[in-house]
Amino acid sequence: MALDPRDFPVEEHHLANGLSIRLLPDRGLPIATLYSFFRVGSRNERPGITGISHLFEHMMFNGSRKYGPKEFDRKLEAAGGSSNAYTSNDLTVYYEDFASEALSLVLDLEADRMASLTIDDTSLSREREVVKEERRFRTDNDLDGMMDEALSALSFLAHPYRWPVVGWMSDLNRITRADCEQYFRTYYAPNNCTVVLAGDFEPARALREIERLYGAIPSGAPLPEVPTGEPPQKGERRAQVQFPAQTKAILAGFRAPAGSHADSLALDLIETALSSGEGARLKRALVYEQELCVDAHAYFGWRIDPGLFDVALKLNPGVELARAEAALWAELARLVAEPLPEADLRRAKNLVKAQLLRGLTTANGRAHTIGQMELMLGSWRAMLDLADRYEAVAATDVQRVAAATFAPHRRNIVTLVPGEQPELDPADLEKVVGDAPGLKGGGP
Amino acid sequence: MKDVALPPLLVEPGPDGLTVAAIQKRGVPLFHVRLSLPAGAACDPRGKAGLAQFTADLLRRGTQRRDAHGVDAMIEGMGAQLSVDVSLDECALGLTVPAELSAAAVDALLEVALLPSFPEAEVTQTRRRALAALQADLDDPGTVAARAAIAVGYGEDHPYGHPASGFRRDVETFTREDAAAFHADRFRKRGALLSVAGRDDPAQLLRFAQDRLSAQGQAWPRAAAKDLPLPGPAAHHAQMRAIVVHKPDATQAQVRIVSPGISRQDPRWAAAVVANTALGGGFTSVLVDAIRVDRGLSYSVSSRLAMGRHAGLSVFSSFTKNETLRELVDLALEKMRAYRGTGPGPDALAKTRTYLAGLFPFGLEAHESIAENVSDCILDGLGLSHLATYRSRIASVSEDAAREAAFALSPGREGAQIVVVGDAEVARKALAGLCPIEIRPLE
């Protein structure tokens, strides 16, 4: 079921300054979407400035040489468009959905901020507070966010995937304007960007506009190397989150290959077999048959470097953590012990392929998919035969990849235990220190 | 901007009250089927809040032809996931599949919707799941705030005045007989709409849908159930009041400010949408500018018209750290009160009209969204012109009409109800002197 390239007449262009351009016209509705993918995310940060990629995503809306503060969205909305952005471990991605007649303006807005972003202390102070609110919302007051942050810190010792994309609160308070200016010079050059335009436009005219607006922006220096030397995991790791909550929860993470690795397709199918739809194995066993969980969910997201395969369980009231954990390990062990039955594999393949198709029904979806394929797999063309490559994954492949991934010594487990956060009593600390040999003064 | 031509489509009302809509969608070879039924949360019997959702959840847990695993295998084997959406007014089921599976998809959807068997064991288990999910929802401050805002905004006796997932005290009482009776009563042809979207031309699609209905739809009860009284407007409160739901250890407070709004059928609809968008939609609205952009008080700020078929709410939503709760509430009320007097000025009006008109076609792109939009405007009694003339109606909203709508529909007008989910002691101190405060436990 390969996609027909004639249905996706993507034009590929490169400017002399390194900007990559992908154009996919579709004259059906008078709308278009422009994506700008920058190959920078929390992976490119260092301790002390964690969260700067995401903070910078916010700063990109605060004015540039031609379009001053607040002008980016004012101009865009007044022309019939809207904007948004997201930051991941690996990428920072901006997009605009707009009425097709606003194309020239949208390109001008994007090119102007790439060429001449304004970074001042006032906007940095304000945006820092907004991001801290986002952190309080998504992490400090959100159980899933708390557990996810704990899992990353537990699973990675050396790799930058260790810290959260939103950054540690103390680092958000510390990031300076100079840090931001350095970040912009380093990572927001055209040679680190892919723009993807999909929708109602005339390709030759759009390309001329892009060349005119982006062509004079200078290339940046080669990007700094990312320290990716994560040591092998030598045993199970555990962490606990204690917080007032209604129910217990488990988040387990297993070290998994990079998105570009051939085995990532088998992991996509395992994710789907375990938790997509009500008939998925994990849901059927843990939610319906054993009634241990309100919800059971698996997630494998493609990353540039080896990442994680996650499984999250939200337990039913009264269910003990150990019982739910044992049931989870048993389900994963089944994947290792016996090949996925043909019906389960067929179901997973059909679900994954249908999801791929559904993602291509909108201009935004097409542009995003093309960009993702470029950044993660090296070429948009990877989407054309992706369905065939899923089809080629055999039950034995699934079993082999499951065995390599779900080994007990590779798992990292975060448990949520409902309860007040313990407060440190200095007397208790004194007692602990006093009892520990060699920790209190006095010498031998 | 010119009005947007809708894709080729046919709508055929049947003599028995069932409407069929067929929409041609070229491009990606997918097929979508959607069945909307007059079985929304507003139909929940008194003392049975959540029964519509409970019944909908049970549809896939066994039919007269197969058990729950068989239903899952039938649907998910096609690469599809069944969407089940219980809103205020309706229950909508949807399936999207590769085009070659269109007949199987329609048959599966009709089987699930019309032939549920409500096995006793599945009823018991679904009730336990619903109760566990309600308890888990208490861990999400945004969900707690949304549930409280509905009850406070409409009033607890209003048909729209409870969340679709219901209340624990009611869900505990649900039986097989409750679900079966609700299904027999509400899953009827009159007021239902079947829509299909695919690559074929609309006449072919319409014939196809009608053929499938003939083959699979005999079980559909013909008897018309008794109509329910139409919901009236949302509750009016004479005095501002704050309801604080206590969530221990929260370092951030969720805030909703709620007032009566309008229904989707209201003649002021276009002016109301424009006025509300200029107030708190998009990224350059009055509220986003004041609260997020100028002061950095919150990550998310919005005002929204939550519209049912017969009534609605105007809702301000945001959140902020405990230390700035009062600052956020004061600023939101100040801006909303000032906007009541002025409405959007000429520049903001022009910007908002173009913004809405420019983005409108994005709602016609995906199979699911065009089917939902067509279905809604027919069932709401607005007709396809509601979509076909969207841009020109938005463009014709005058400054006076927008100002009148801003005055009449601001979430922050007299009698607004403030909902805060957060640490009760923090909120009590922060809101002292603003209005009467009622503290409620998290439940």
CATH code at A237-418: 3.30.830.10
What is residue A444's predicted lDDT score, i.e. its pLDDT?
30
Q: Determine whether the interchain pair A288/B68 forms a contact, defined as Cβ–Cβ distance below 8 Å.
A: yes
Torsion angle defined by CA atoms of residues A229, A232, A235 and A236, in that order, rounded to the nearest 10 degrees: 60
The pTM (predicted TM-score) of the whole model is: 0.94
Which pLDDT tens digit goes with each residue over A103-135? 999 999 999 999 999 999 999 999 999 999 999
Q: What pLDDT is recorded for position B223?
A: 59
Comparing CA positions, the residue from A238, A343, A337 lying closest to residue A284 is A343
User: Is A127 within 8 Å of chain B by CB?
Assistant: yes
CATH 3.90.550.10 fits B241-440, yes or no: no
Q: Which residues in chain B have Cβ-Cβ distances shorter than 8 Å to A79?
A: 354, 358
CATH number (3.40.50.720, 3.90.78.10, 3.30.70.20, 3.30.830.10) of B9-219 reads: 3.30.830.10
Interface of A with B in 7-36 (CB under 8 A): 7, 26, 28-31
* pLDDT tens-digit map of A140-165: 999 999 999 999 999 999 999 999 99
pLDDT(B342) > 90: yes
Same fold, B9-219 and B241-440: yes
Contact with chain A for residue B367, Cβ under 8 A: yes
- Residue B73: list chain A partners with CB under 8 A: 279, 343, 347
Instruction: Name the residue ranges covered by the structural domains of chain B.
Output: 9-219, 241-440
pLDDT tens per residue across span A201-246: 999 999 999 999 999 999 999 999 998 889 999 999 999 999 999 9
Between CA A30 and CA A295 the distance in angstroms is: 41
pLDDT(A428) > 70? no
B229, with CB counted inside 10 A (0-12, 13-18, 19+), is exposed
- Candidates A87, A123, A125, A133, partner chain B, best to mutate (most B CBs within 10 A): A133
Residues of chain B neighbouring A128 (CB-CB closer than 8 A): 296
Q: Tell whether B70 is within 8 A of chain A (Cβ).
A: no
Chain B partners within 8 Å of A131 (Cβ): 299
DSSP structural state of residue B223: S
- Pseudo-torsion of CA A183, A186, A188, A192, nearest 10°? -140
Taking every pair of C-alpha atoms in chain B, what is the biggest distance, in angstroms? 66
B positions 161-220 inside 8 Å of A (CB)? none
Q: Indicate if the pLDDT at residue A98 is higher than 80.
A: yes
Which site among B6, B30, B283 would you substitute to test the A interface, given the most A Cβ atoms closer than 10 Å to its Cβ?
A: B283
Tell me the pLDDT of chain B averaged across its residues: 95
Asked if B73 has any chain A CB less than 8 Å from its own CB, the reply is yes
When pLDDT is cut at 50, 70 and 90, the band that residue B185 belongs to is very high
Mean pLDDT of the B381-407 span: 97
More confident residue, A270 or B156: A270
Contact B361 A30 (CB under 8 A): yes
Q: Is the pLDDT of residue A434 over 60?
A: no
> Which of B72, B132, B365 comes nearest A278 by C-beta?
B72
CB contact under 8 A, B358 and A99: yes
pLDDT at position A432 is: 53
Predicted pLDDT at B16 = 85
Q: Is A333 near chain B, with CB under 8 Å?
A: no
| Whether A173 contacts chain B with CB within 8 A | no
Supply the pLDDT for residue B227. 79
Of B320, B329, B287, B323, which Cα lies nearest the Cα of B304? B287
pLDDT score of A438 more than 70: no
Asked if the Cβ–Cβ distance from B136 to A294 is below 8 Å, we say yes
pLDDT for the residue A218: 96
Residues of chain A positioned with their CB less than 8 A from the CB of B171: none
d(CA B299, nearest CA chain A) in Å: 5
Nearest CA in chain B to A286: B129
Contact call for A358 and B249, based on CB within 8 A: no
Task: For an interface test with A, give the residue of B139, B423, B426 to mutate (most A CBs within 10 A).
Answer: B139
- Of the pLDDT bands very low, low, confident and very high (cuts 50, 70, 90), residue A329 is very high
Contact across the interface for A137 and B250, Cβ inside 8 Å: no
Q: What is the pLDDT of residue A347?
A: 95
The answer to whether residue A143 neighbours chain B at the CB level (below 8 Å) is yes
Contact B28 A357 (CB under 8 A): yes
For residue B80, give the DSSP letter: -
Tens of pLDDT, residues B8-55: 999 999 888 899 999 999 888 999 999 999 999 999 999 999 999 999
* Residue among B4, B72, B140 with most chain A CBs within 10 A, to mutate: B72
Q: CB-based contact (8 Å) between A272 and chain B?
A: no
Q: What is residue A371's predicted lDDT score, i.e. its pLDDT?
A: 98
Label the pairing between strands A307-315 and A249-256.
antiparallel
Give domain A9-214's CATH superfamily: Metalloenzyme, LuxS/M16 peptidase-like (3.30.830.10)
Q: How confident is the model at residue A435 (pLDDT cuts 50, 70, 90)?
A: low
pLDDT value for A203: 98
User: Average pLDDT of B52-75?
Assistant: 97
Taking the CA of residue B286 and the nearest CA in chain A, the distance in Å comes to: 12
Give percent above pLDDT 70 in chain B: 99
CA distance A208 to chain B (A): 24
Please indicate if any CB of chain A lies within 8 Å of the CB of B355.
Answer: yes
Residue B440: strand, helix, or coil: strand
B121 vs A: CB within 8 A: no
What pLDDT was estimated at residue B443? 84
Residues B157-170: tens digit of each pLDDT? 999 999 999 999 99
pLDDT at A440 over 60: no
When CB atoms are compared, the residue of A133, A351, A361 closest to B27 is A361
Interface test with A, best of B2, B59, B76 (most A CBs within 10 A): B76
Cβ neighbors of B93 (< 8 A, separation 6 or more) are B34, B35, B37, B56, B59, B82, B83, B84, B85, B109, B112, B113
The count of other CB atoms within 10 Å of the CB of residue A165 is: 25
What stretches of A39-185 adopt beta strand conformation (E)? 81-87, 92-99
CATH 3.30.830.10 residue ranges of chain A are 9-214, 237-418
Task: From chain A, pick out residues whose CB is under 8 angstroms from the CB of B350.
Answer: 78
Region for A221 from its dihedrals, namely left if φ exceeds 0, alpha if ψ lies in -120 to 50, beta otherwise: beta
- A28/B319 touch (CB, cutoff 8 Å), yes or no: no
DSSP symbols for B252-321: EEEEEEEEE---TT-TTHHHHHHHHHHHHSSSSSHHIIIIIIIT---S-EEEEEEE-SS-EEEEEEEEEE
Instruction: Summarize chain B as % helix, strand, coil (round to 5).
Output: 45, 20, 35
Mean pLDDT, residues B247-262? 95
pLDDT at A442: 36
